[in-house]
Structure 1
Amino acid sequence: MIRAAGCVLWRPAPTGRGIEIALVHRPKYDDWSHPKGKLKRGESAEEAALREVREETGHACALGPRLPTARYLANGRPKVVTYWSARALDGAFVPSTEVDRMVWLPPEAARLRLTQPRDRELLDAALD
């Protein structure tokens, strides 16, 4: 089984009204998703979520409430992804080969941009 962790990363909107959600684009899959990645040996899900957010978005974050766990097949193997809602702290995005773009969007625009239905469900859970 593949174990991974990630976050629905958010920040207060610069306008002072509402929040924005961070989405990352992975050129390998040409998809838009929440930042996430595989756990390293001996790493907790919390540690992996914080590390992956930092690696993929350039931002530190503060974990908030735990969100529903995603379970699906990835290349024929079962994958379990533990998620949290997380507030973005300091940082700045730097493109890489793994994640070439990142956007901050209002929740409804983020919902429309997400590639996978399971990521839209996760966003809905974070907004509840």
Structure 2
Amino acid sequence: MRKNSIKNTRINGEVQRELSQIIRGEIKDPRIALMTSVTGAEVAPDLKTCKVYISVLGDDKAKTDTIAGLCSAEGYIRRMLAKNLNLRNTPELSFVLDESIEYGVNMSKLIDTVREKEKGEEDA
């Protein structure tokens, strides 16, 4: 696997920031949850494709609705991205649900319960 160049890393950051602003401020689709954030963007070195990692706070229905809403607005988002960023090619966007934050919160809760259990056994 190839390591990202400095240029590609910078492009990933710019695309992530711009997509976050577009999704938060310009899309009026009611399917997209209010607590939606862009956790990452991976632009291919040839600038043809981009994987956008989306984190949604809510239940499973909110997550699937948000991804469906973003996929249907992909053309508009891509057009706004081309307008706001000066890239040679505007990448095709594919949205991926990122559950790493939710996983981290669950792991933190499990660790806390184990610590409480050990503390209770220690006191007894």
User: Is TM (by shorter chain) over 0.5?
Assistant: no
| Higher relative contact order (CA closer than 8 Å, sequence separation 6+) | 1
Instruction: Say which structure is richer in strand.
Output: 1
Higher-Rg structure is 2
TM-score normalised to structure 1 length = 0.30
